[in-house]
């Protein structure tokens, strides 16, 4: 295999690494080891970023890569967030809730809506912005919850995250946002020009400050801020 052919495989290699991390993450999530699973999920999403980055850099976008990317995302950013939310609901619910044995499975609505979004993304034109909440952003928000419980050491955050009402509302809200008509900023850079990408730079800089200020809870808050910022300064065509 010469260098040219090897280069064409690079984006798909990162996509497969994303799928591998997502698959391992599923195993740990099913075993209710959400912390270890979170690490693999975040690593998978990082690989997902690099497959698109190298595909654009080397001009190697293809129909195969597009379909493979969605299949990998369906595991890492589709199945996994649903399993995460299901486990969180099981942790938070007690016998006082009606249908407490059934309610956790409502979380799989996230998986169904993620699948619909990924399929719709493949047949729509979303190059300069996203329509609806991207599945990786949705996944990052959800997997941040057990990390906050483990490392944030905050009674306020613990009481919020382990509230069944909060988790049920969040489940249906995120499921709606995945396939909403909301325009959200894409962080794909075609040029580094400050004037063209001013909103992106502002978003990134403020997000870093949020992460520094709020630590693990900052992961959750950054995704909320990302959506609010996009509403206030909607991306143009």
pLDDT at 223: 96
Q: For residue 85, what are its two tokens?
A: 């939310």
Q: Given a cut of 60, is residue 61 above it in pLDDT?
A: yes
* CATH architecture for segment(s) 3-183: Up-down Bundle (1.20)
Q: Given a cut of 60, is residue 2 above it in pLDDT?
A: no
pLDDT at 90: 94
pLDDT at 231: 92
Beta-carbon-side half-sphere exposure of residue 87 (alpha carbons within 13 Å): 21
Q: For residue 72, what are its two tokens?
A: 């990998």
Task: Name the pTM for this structure.
Answer: 0.90
Domain definitions of the chain by residue range: 3-183
Q: Per residue in 76-98, pLDDT tens? A: 999 999 999 999 999 998 877 87
Q: How far apart are CA 120 and CA 109, in angstroms?
A: 16
Average the pLDDT over each of 3-12, 165-174, 187-196, 212-221 and give the range with the smallest value: 3-12
Q: Given a cut of 90, is residue 198 above it in pLDDT?
A: no
Q: How far is CA 5 from the centre of its chain?
A: 31
Distance set, CA 226 to CA 34, 84, 94, 141, 206 (Å): 24, 22, 33, 11, 10
Three-class DSSP category at 128: coil
Q: How far apart are CA 189 and CA 201, in angstroms?
A: 10
DSSP count for the chain of H helices, then E strands:
10, 2
Distance set, CA 141 to CA 136, 217, 221, 224, 232 (Å): 9, 10, 8, 8, 20
Q: Given a cut of 70, is residue 210 above it in pLDDT?
A: yes
As a whole number, the mean pLDDT across the chain is 89
Confidence of residue 46 (pLDDT cuts 50, 70, 90): very high
């Amino acid at each position: 295999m010469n260098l040219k052919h090897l280069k064409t495989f690079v984006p798909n290699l990162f996509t497969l690494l994303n799928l591998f991390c997502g698959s391992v993450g599923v195993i740990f999530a099913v075993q209710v080891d959400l912390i270890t699973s979170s690490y693999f999920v975040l690593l998978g999403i990082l690989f997902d970023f690099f497959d698109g980055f190298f595909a654009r850099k080397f001009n190697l976008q293809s129909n195969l890569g597009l379909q493979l990317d969605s299949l990998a995302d369906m595991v890492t950013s589709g199945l996994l967030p649903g399993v995460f939310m299901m486990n969180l609901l099981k942790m938070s619910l007690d016998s006082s809730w009606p249908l407490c044995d059934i309610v956790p499975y409502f979380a799989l609505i996230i998986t169904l809506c993620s699948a619909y979004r990924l399929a719709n993304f493949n047949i729509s034109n979303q190059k300069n912005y996203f329509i609806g909440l991207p599945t990786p952003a949705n996944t990052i928000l959800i997997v941040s919850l057990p990390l906050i419980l483990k490392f944030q050491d905050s009674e306020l955050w613990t009481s919020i995250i382990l509230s069944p009402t909060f988790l049920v509302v969040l489940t249906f809200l995120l499921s709606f946002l995945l396939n909403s008509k909301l325009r959200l900023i894409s962080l794909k850079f075609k040029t580094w020009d400050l004037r063209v990408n001013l909103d992106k730079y502002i978003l990134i800089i403020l997000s870093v400050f949020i992460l520094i200020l709020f630590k693990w809870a900052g992961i959750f808050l950054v995704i909320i801020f990302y959506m609010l910022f996009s509403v206030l300064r909607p991306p143009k065509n």
